[in-house]
């Protein structure tokens, strides 16, 4: 099986909160490498991605010191193509939450598909995170991490859950509906 890698990085000069978010996000996505961006351009990031055989690049943007968007790029034909942008209404960092667990070196991830109205978002998340779609509740325990989506008015909460202990293992993302 080919391990499809993801690079997670930030925009230039990230705040400590954004750096922590990048670290926590990369810890729950399988085969993900957190890269300190520094002064690297997108071209430099593409070269890094090609060097490690990554097929996704996630750049975390921020406003007023808080993560505001995840811009996902796909690496195809040795080029960087923008795939989608998840606009964030906010995040709750793993370290700020209670009754949570930790997942170490996850190798598999799936996105729960429970509501038809979220089909487009499920598809984008699945593609962005190199995940599978989980249609059957009984197969949950076969994955190291489950992405659960909870719609709330004009936002969708994105939770990373360890199915073996049924606890949150990563940051909570509040994604704005487009």
Q: Where does the pLDDT of residue 155 fall: very low under 50, low under 70, confident under 90, or very high at 90 and above?
A: very high
Q: Nearest 5°: phi and psi at 26? A: -70, -25
Of residues 123 and 2, the one with the higher pLDDT is 123
pLDDT tens for 47-86 read 999 999 999 999 999 999 999 999 999 999 999 999 999 9
CA distance 61 to 113: 27
Q: Where does the pLDDT of residue 1 fall: very low under 50, low under 70, confident under 90, or very high at 90 and above?
A: very low
pTM for this prediction: 0.94
For domain 5-86, the CATH class is alpha beta
Quickly tell me which residue has 């936002």 as its tokens: 155
- The average confidence (pLDDT) of the chain is 94
Provide CATH 3.40.120 ranges for the chain: 109-176
Q: Which CATH architecture has domain 109-176?
A: 3-Layer(aba) Sandwich (3.40)
Provide CATH 3.40.50.10480 ranges for the chain: 5-86
pLDDT tens for 35-53 read 999 999 999 999 999 999 9
Q: Tell me the helices (H) and strands (E) count for the chain, helix number first.
A: 3, 11
């Amino acid at each position: 099986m080919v391990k499809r890698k993801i690079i997670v990085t930030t925009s230039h000069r990230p705040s400590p909160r954004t750096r922590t978010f990048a670290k926590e996000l990369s810890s729950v996505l399988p085969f993900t490498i957190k890269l300190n961006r520094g002064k690297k351009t997108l071209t430099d990031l593409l070269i890094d991605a090609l060097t490690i055989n990554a097929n996704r690049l996630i750049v975390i943007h921020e406003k007023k010191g808080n993560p505001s968007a995840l811009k996902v790029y796909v690496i195809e034909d040795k080029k960087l193509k923008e795939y989608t942008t998840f606009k964030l209404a906010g995040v709750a960092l793993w370290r700020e939450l209670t009754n949570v667990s930790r997942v170490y070196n996850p190798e598999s991830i799936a996105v729960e598909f429970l509501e038809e109205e979220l089909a487009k978002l499920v598809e984008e998340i699945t593609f962005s995170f190199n995940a599978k779609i989980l249609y059957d509740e009984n197969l949950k325990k076969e994955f190291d991490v489950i992405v659960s989506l909870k719609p709330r008015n004009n936002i969708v909460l994105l939770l990373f859950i360890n199915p073996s202990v049924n606890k949150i293992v990563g940051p909570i993302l509040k994604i704005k509906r487009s």
